[in-house]
Amino acid sequence: MSAQIEVPTVEEKVSNLKIDDNVAVAETEVPAAAAASPEAGETTAPKKKKKKSKKKKIVGIDTHYPDGVFPEGEWQEYPLEVNSYRTTSEEKRYLDRQQNNHWQDFRKGAEIHRRVRHKAQSSIKPGMSMLEIADIIENSVRQYANADHTLKAGIGFPTGLSLNHVAAHYTPNAGDKVVLAYEDVMKVDIGVHVNGHIVDSAFTLTFDDKYDALLQAVKSATNAGVAASGIDVRLNDIGEAVQEVMESYELEINGKSYPIKCIRNLNGHNIGDFEIHSGKTVPIVPNGDMTKMEEGETFAIETFGSTGAGYVVGAGECSHYSVIKGEHDLKSVPDKAQALLSTIKDNFGTLPWCRRYLDRTGADKYLLALNQLVRAGIVEDYPPLVDTKGCYTAQYEHTILLHPHKKEVVSRGDDY
């Protein structure tokens, strides 16, 4: 999911606002050219009817890999000299093989992710609504996962489709009227899970090449963060590597140059089983955190660049939620809210979800009960995270697995 943020207090949150600066631009549909009328005395042969191309049906990913062995990600050696022995250590390779089923879940999720984002990149066009775009992505995940329950495999968290100055945590609620415009900068953040093992990976989609420097800055910074990560590496050092690359770029628009800044209060994060933000955070600027990465951990390495202030706050209509892990005191929670909580746990457990996913369960008229769960500290709400209005933000992200012998960038693909 989108990056972990340094969260303000509840009183500081801005609620019930609408993100209203996204201009709706209708896509012009171009009809097939009509046949020209023949000149007098000329004859024309009857035209053959063109066959309509059938859309290729998506089948479960297991059909493509019947042996249950999925493609590996990109392998990288660990950056610290002290860990160079791991690459050739037979003992470390043996330990890695003992967790093979665990790794296969991540690789299966990553292969679904690659196919879904390819579909997204080839299908999304200006003029489409956010709801249409979310449906393309999420229905593809569901079809490839082909699971009989949402907790076995499928969507790992709500699809992020944040536009322009909105950096993260926006996905459309039912009735959303926002339409993608040609000049928008959209962060596409997709999560896929298999048995609770979550692949979290994101890219930025634009149609106007004037934003190329912004995208290149963030992509390069993410790759720098991935390269710097590894067993025994201090989190502060990763932030330093990211910032050095990110802030070496600038974006020129209409003759004016904008420095590209790291969004300093957004971070990468540990990924746990059925838990998208678990434990450690990975800064994208130096922050003095000398905590080290450890063998066997999974991390989302994500970076955000901005032409604005480089700092985000929560604002806008909320769509993202998750149940807070742990025991919950339900004594003061109304019955309807308790019933809603049961529905949430049955369908999503501790995975993040959005209102549209609740709608799919058949839940209705649940907003009061949902707000009661938030106020009771049982459900966490994640409003959209916004920088200065009028600026542009971009995001790239990969999931890495810290194997005993090497690092696997499991979500790596030909696209990024």
Active site amino acids: 189, 200, 269, 277, 302, 397
Using CA atoms, how far apart are residues 265 and 311, in angstroms rounded to an integer? Answer: 6
Chain-centroid distance of CA 251 in Å reads: 24
**Which two three-digit tokens encode residue 107?**
């690789």
Annotated binding residue 403: no
3-state secondary structure at position 166: strand
Annotated binding residue 269: yes
Annotated binding residue 169: yes
3-state secondary structure at position 334: coil
Report whether 13 contacts 313 (CB < 8 A).
no
Annotated binding residue 200: yes
3-state secondary structure at position 16: coil
Using CA atoms, how far apart are residues 282 and 50, in angstroms rounded to an integer? Answer: 54
Helix, strand, coil percentages (3-state) for the chain, rounded to 5, are 30, 25, 45
Using alpha carbons, list the distances in angstroms from residue 378 to 166, 341, 343, 345, 366. Answer: 26, 9, 14, 11, 15
* Residue 11 DSSP class: G
* Angle, helix 235-246 to helix 212-228, in steps of 10 degrees: 160
**Which residues sit opposite 384 in a β-bridge?**
none
Annotated binding residue 102: no
Q: Which residues are annotated as a binding site?
A: 169, 189, 200, 269, 277, 302, 397
Extract the annotated binding site for a divalent metal cation. Answer: 189, 200, 269, 302, 397
Residues at the annotated binding site for substrate?
Answer: 169, 277
